[in-house]
Amino acid sequence: MSTTGQANFAAYHQHGFIRVAASTPRVRPADVSFNRDSLLEEMQRADAARVDLLVCPELCLSSYAIDDLHMQDALLTAVEEALVTLVEASADLTPVTLIGAPLRREGRLYNCAIAISRGQILGVVPKSYLPNYREFYEKRWFAHGRDTDGEINVAGQTVPFGDDLIFEATDLPGLIFHTEICEDLWTPSPPSSEAALAGALILTNLSASNIVIGKSSDRHLLCRSQSMRAFAAYVYSAAGPGESTTDLAWDGQGMIHELGDLMAESTRFPLEPELTIADIDSGRIQSERMRTGSFHDASRHREPAFRRVRFEHQPHFEPAGLIRPVRRFPYVPNRESHLDQDCYEAFNIQVEGLRRRFEATPGETMVIGISGGLDSTHALIVAAKACDRMGLPRERILGYTMPGFATSEGTKSNAWKLMRAMGITADEIDIRPAARQMLEDMDHPFSGGEPVYDITFENVQAGLRTDYLFRLANQRKGFVIGTGDLSELALGWCTYGVGDQMSHYAVNAGVPKTLIQYLIRWSIQSDQFDPETNAVLDAILGTEISPELVPAGEDEKIQSTESMIGPYELNDFFLFHTMRYGLAPSKVAFLAYQAWHDAEQGLWPAGFPRTKRNAYDLQTIRAWLEKFLHRFFATSQFKRSALPNGPKVSAGGALSPRGDWRAPSDSVATPWLDELRKNVPEAWPKG
Encoded amino acid at 319, one letter: P
Distances (CA, A) of 620 to 87, 324, 625, 627: 47, 22, 8, 11
Closest CA to 317 of 534, 673, 5: 5
Strands 151-154 and 157-160: antiparallel
Average pLDDT over residues 427-437: 97
Instruction: Assess contact for 53 and 175: CB atoms under 8 A.
Output: yes
168 bridge partner residues: 176, 310
Question: For the chain, how many residues are written?
Answer: 687
Q: How many domains are contained in the chain?
A: 2
Q: Are residues 300 and 357 in the same domain?
A: no
Q: Is residue 7 part of a domain?
A: no
Average pLDDT over residues 169-194: 96
| Mean pLDDT (whole number) for 290-318 | 85
Classify the C-alpha dihedral 521-578-645-295 as positive or negative.
positive
Count Cβ atoms below 10 Å from residue 186 Cβ, excluding itself: 14
Confidence check: pLDDT of 687 > 80 = no
Distance CA 630, CA 668 (A): 8
Q: Are 532 and 595 contained in the same domain? A: yes
Calpha distance 45→62 (Å, rounded): 21
Q: Which residues are annotated as a binding site for L-glutamine?
A: 133, 209, 215
Cα–Cα distance, 283 to 278 (Å, whole number): 15
Model confidence at 304: pLDDT above 80: no
| Other beta carbons within 10 Å of 294 | 6
Catalytic, out of 182, 223, 343, 387: 182
For residue 1, the model assigns a pLDDT of 31
pLDDT tens digits, one per residue of 668-680? 999 999 999 999 9
Same domain? For 282 and 351 the reply is no
Please check whether residue 325 lies inside any domain of the structure. Answer: no
Binding-site members for deamido-NAD(+) are 459, 488, 493-496, 639
Say how far apart CA 633 and CA 627 lie, in whole Å: 10
Same domain, 638 and 492: yes
318 domain residue, yes or no: no
pLDDT band at 301 (very low <50, low <70, confident <90, very high): low
Report residue 643 CA to chain centroid gap: 26
Over 70: is that where the pLDDT of 224 sits?
yes
The lowest-confidence range among 104-108, 303-307, 396-400 is 303-307
Domain around 486:
338-679
Q: What is the CATH number of the domain that holds 380?
A: 3.40.50.620
Query: Of the residues 311, 327, 356, which one is the last residue of a structural domain?
Result: 311
What digits encode the pLDDT tens for the residues 588-628? 999 999 999 999 998 898 888 899 999 999 999 999 999 99
Query: DSSP code of 633?
Result: I
385 catalytic, yes or no?
Answer: no
- Of 126 and 498, the structure prediction assigns the larger pLDDT to 126
Residues 45 and 108 in one domain: yes
Q: State whether 448 and 494 are in the same domain.
A: yes
Catalytic residue flag (residue 265): no
Which region among 19-33, 47-61, 169-183, 241-255 has the lowest average model confidence (pLDDT)? 241-255
127 annotated active-site: yes
Note the pLDDT of residue 3. Answer: 44
pTM of the model: 0.93
Q: Which residue positions form the known binding site?
A: 133, 209, 215, 369-376, 459, 483, 488, 493-496, 639
Quick one: pLDDT band at residue 465, thresholds 50, 70, 90?
very high
Least confident range of 86-90, 315-319, 466-470: 315-319
The most confident of 147-151, 625-629, 653-657, by mean pLDDT: 625-629
More confident residue, 376 or 2: 376
327 within some domain: no
Mean pLDDT of 9-36: 96
Please report, for the domain that includes residue 164, its CATH number: 3.60.110.10
In a domain, 55, yes or no: yes
Residue 658 in domain:
yes
Q: Compute the average pLDDT of residues 48-55.
A: 98
User: Could you tell me which of 316, 325, 326 has the C-alpha nearest to residue 50?
Assistant: 316
Claim to verify: residue 192 and residue 248 sit in the same structural domain = yes
Q: 364 and 307, same structural domain?
A: no
Q: What is the pLDDT of residues 510-546, one digit of tens each?
A: 999 999 999 998 889 888 889 999 999 999 998 888 8
Q: What is the mean pLDDT of residues 638-645?
A: 95
Q: How far is CA 215 from the centre of its chain?
A: 27
Same domain, 298 and 350: no
- Whether 513 and 568 have beta carbons less than 8 Å apart is answered as yes
Which residue out of 42, 56, 60, 127 is catalytically annotated? 127
Binding residues for ATP: 369-376, 483
Q: How far, CA to CA in Å, does 141 sit from each of 71, 78, 563, 655?
A: 7, 17, 70, 58
Cβ(676)–Cβ(655) under 8 Å? no
Average pLDDT estimate for 170-196: 96
pLDDT class of 2 with cuts at 50, 70, 90: very low
Mean pLDDT calculated for residue range 199-226:
94
Strand-pairing partners, residue 401, are 428
Looking at the chain, the whole-number percentage of residues with pLDDT higher than 70 is: 98
What is the pLDDT confidence band of residue 116, given thresholds at 50, 70 and 90? Answer: very high
What is residue 22's three-state secondary structure? strand
What digits encode the pLDDT tens for the residues 327-374? 999 999 887 777 888 888 998 999 999 999 999 998 899 999 999 999
Looking at the structure, do residues 179 and 76 belong to the same domain, yes or no?
yes
Question: What average pLDDT is seen over the chain?
Answer: 93
Q: How far is CA 235 from CA 54, 162, 241, 313, in A?
A: 9, 20, 19, 19
Q: Is residue 11 part of a domain?
A: no
The confidence score (pLDDT) of residue 16 equals 96
CB–CB of 648/660 below 8 Å? yes
Counting residues of the chain whose pLDDT is more than 90, the rounded percentage is 83
SS3 395: helix
Phi/psi at 129 (5° precision): -120, 120
Percentages helix, strand, coil for the chain, rounded to the nearest 5? 40, 15, 40
What's the pLDDT band for 560 if we cut at 50, 70, 90?
confident
Query: How far from chain centre, in Å, is Cα 674?
Result: 25
pLDDT for 608: 86
Pick the closest to residue 392 from 361, 420, 418, 355 (CA basis): 355
Q: How many CB atoms lie within 10 A of CB 4?
A: 9
Q: By the 8 A CB rule, do 571 and 626 touch?
A: no
| CA separation for the pair 76, 308 (Å, rounded) | 28
Confidence band, pLDDT 50/70/90 cuts, at residue 553: low
User: Do 254 and 358 belong to one domain?
Assistant: no
Q: Which of 42, 58, 183, 258 is catalytic?
A: 58
Residues 416 and 292 in one domain: no
Would residue 144 count as lying in a domain?
yes
Report residue 303's pLDDT band, with 50, 70 and 90 as the boundaries.
Answer: low
- pLDDT tens-digit readout, 385-427: 999 999 999 999 999 999 999 998 999 999 999 999 999 999 9
Q: Report the pLDDT value the prediction gives residue 543, as an integer from 0 to 100.
A: 87
- Count the helices and strands in the chain (H runs, E runs): 22, 20
pLDDT surpassing 90 at residue 302: no
Mean pLDDT for 226-245 is 94
